[in-house]
Amino acid sequence: MKQKTFKDYGELSVETAEQIADIISGKPDALLCFPAGETSLGTFRHLIDLNKRRKISFEHCRIIGLDEWVGLGEMKSENCYSFLRSNLFDHINLMEKNICFFNGESSDLAEECRKSDEFVKEYGPVDMMLLGAGMNGHLGLNEPGTPFNLWSHVTDLAETTKLIGQKYFSRKVELYKGITLGIRHILEAGTVILQISGSGKAEVAERLINSKTDPDFPASVIKEHPDSWLLLDMEAARLL
């Protein structure tokens, strides 16, 4: 795991986007994976700018969804896919046919897992996976205790995730399950970039750096990856 600390969130976002842009420039048909989370928004804005200025093109890139809430019902318009569409997909030259995303409203979630696994098998492994770490160390919706050898799977959400996840919705929703790419996808990805930003995540960053690799803290698995990057801003690095 390689580690870099940047002076602030803005610099972290720009440098992350530039690193992703280099991967796309080197492989125009790269398979990419992005998280639906606040930390990635600055990176998305810079990627959109690079695309508009024709520094990079997403025309031939493929996107695999990282994770999705299950069973939102009428609130599905505020799910992970909608977050990524409104904050990234709708603003770049990405072709709809090149997107594969979990349908958390499906009556056959096992088929949704199979579909995503097959997409990665056909076009992958994932060339670039951008991740954020949850307060409990989850990656995607791989909650603490998740075995490292799983592909896509349905997961019971931890209480921390149920609580913090409310911030993504306009009103209170019942969150109980998720569907996610597995840790095995992360380990087999070409490049993994984990962003941690803000003073509220300082303890997460400190635990990641100072702990052993442990399924009870899923973020620690990136230490096992041969080309993983931990990118922090100064606030997240305040305990280091």
Distance, first Cα to last Cα, the chain: 16
The mean pLDDT value of the chain amounts to 97
Q: State the pLDDT confidence band at 71, using cuts at 50, 70 and 90.
A: very high
* 45 vs 88: CA distance, rounded Å: 8
Question: Quick check: pTM over 0.85?
Answer: yes
Catalytic residue chosen out of the listed positions 49, 136, 206, 214: 136
pLDDT-derived band at 113 (thresholds 50, 70, 90) equals very high
Q: Which residues contact 233 (CB under 8 A, 6 or more apart)?
A: 5, 6, 7, 8, 9, 11, 12, 197, 198
pLDDT value at residue 197: 98
Active site residue 156: no
Q: Which of 68, 112, 117, 143 is catalytic?
A: 143
Instruction: Give pLDDT, residue 43.
Output: 98
Tell me the mean pLDDT in the region 108-123.
98
Catalytic residue among 46, 138, 153, 185: 138
Residue 205 has what pLDDT?
98
Report the percent of the chain where pLDDT is more than 70. Answer: 100
pLDDT for 164 equals 96
- Residue 124: how many other CB atoms lie within 10 Å: 18
User: What confidence tens digit (pLDDT) does each residue in 134-172 have?
Assistant: 999 999 999 999 999 999 999 999 999 999 999 999 999
pLDDT per residue as tens digits for the range 13-23: 999 999 999 99
pLDDT given at position 144: 98
Active site residue 67: yes
CA torsion sign for 228, 8, 87, 136 is positive
Q: What is the pLDDT of residue 125?
A: 97
Supply the pLDDT for residue 207: 97
Summarize pLDDT for 170-211 with one digit per residue, the tens.
999 999 999 999 999 999 999 999 999 999 999 999 999 998
> What share of the chain in percent tops pLDDT 90?
100
Amino acid in the structure at residue 162: K
Question: Which option is the CATH number for 2-233: 3.20.20.190, 3.20.20.60, 3.40.50.1360, 1.10.1740.10?
Answer: 3.40.50.1360
The structure tokens listed for 49 are 């700018």
Is 136 among the catalytic positions? yes
**3-class SS string, the chain:** CEEEEECCHHHHHHHHHHHHHHHHHHCCCCEEECCCCHHHHHHHHHHHHHHHCCCCCCCCCEEECCEEECCCHHHHHHCHHHHHHHHCHHHCCCCHHHEECCCCCCCCHHHHHHHHHHHHHHHCCCCEEEEEECCCCCECCECCCCCCCCCCEEEECCHHHHHHHHHHCCCCCCCCEEEECCHHHHHHCCEEEEEECCHHHHHHHHHHHHCCCECCEHHHHHHHCCCEEEEEECCCCCCC
Please tell me the predicted confidence (pLDDT) of residue 192: 98
Residue 98 among the catalytic residues: no
